Amino acid sequence: MASFMDYMISPQPMRLIDLKSDKSKLNLKSLTILNVGHLPGRTLFRKDATFGKWAVVYIAGGRGSWQVNGGDIQVVEKGTLFLFRPDATYDYGPDENGYWDEYYFTLEGERITEWINTWLIQPDTVKQVGTDDSQQSKIERIFMLMDSGVPANLDRAALLLESLLYEFMLKAQVLPESNKTGQIASLMDDLSDSLYQAFSADCIAKRHHISLSTLRRIVSEYTGYPLNEYMHRLKIAESKNILLNTDSSVKEIANLLGYKDVFYFSRLFKKFVGVSPLVYRKSI
């Protein structure tokens, strides 16, 4: 199985295999794998990419992002799967100064339409499908069958990929809720860790590979408060602890929590607590 080097894509050798037999020799006419590839340690990030065929991409390691038609930026990490379709534009790749371990399968055939209409749901979302030795073994088997060039083996490769993709989709229906919960917990932890600085929603959204509108929606659904109000409430709650446990002045506390205007901070404190910071300190 040949390996290729392209340092613009990855510093490691890549495996690329094209269809080695005339398609007329294949018995399976409804699904054909045109090429497969393994890009270990991929570093290239592509913008405004388009594709002439469908492709299935599985990420076995690393982390990055994937965006279709300028929509929400979706997180890509180890054990995730996403698709490329011919009528869309994509921005995708590893995080800056990062990498991911990519397997891709380029396809054509009427069977793909059947998948989309039945069990291959939400083709424009990244799916968490996990990792295990069985999946990896099937991927390597597909590569070996494609590399043989024997028509019967190429048909076997297409059927094996269909079976693997179906298994992936069954897993995707089980894993997302726990994965989503973990992502939300990570996001909320990041917001809590931002108390002692001026709050930047844009920076938070970029760190979690989501749009600003998605960040606002998640916080609103999770807490019941708009994003900015939630952050103010977190900071005011923290200021109450500082007032009770230190001798810091109101101005020092305001600066510590990222408020340059002490009068603005005091107004917020009174709005959420009901009394001014000094009155609160004296009343406890």
Domain ranges of the chain: 3-178, 194-283
Residue 203: pLDDT over 80: yes
Instruction: Please name the residues in contact with 39: beta carbons below 8 A apart, sequence gap of 6 or more.
Output: 9, 10, 14, 101, 102, 103, 104
pLDDT band at 196; cut points 50, 70, 90 = confident
194 vs 190: CA distance, rounded Å: 6
Select from 199, 218, 198 the least CA-distant residue to 208: 218
* Higher-scoring residue by pLDDT: 6, 21: 21
Check if CATH label 3.10.20.90 holds for domain 3-178.
no
In this prediction, residues 189-204 reach a mean pLDDT of: 85
Check if CATH label 1.10.3330.10 holds for domain 194-283.
no
| Percent of the chain whose predicted confidence (pLDDT) is above 90 | 64
pLDDT at residue number 257: 92
* Higher-scoring residue by pLDDT: 281, 141: 141
Of the segments 96-100, 127-131, 221-225, which one has the largest average pLDDT value? Answer: 96-100
172 vs 127: CA distance, rounded Å: 6
Q: What is the pTM of this model?
A: 0.63
pLDDT tens digits, one per residue of 45-62: 999 999 999 999 999 999
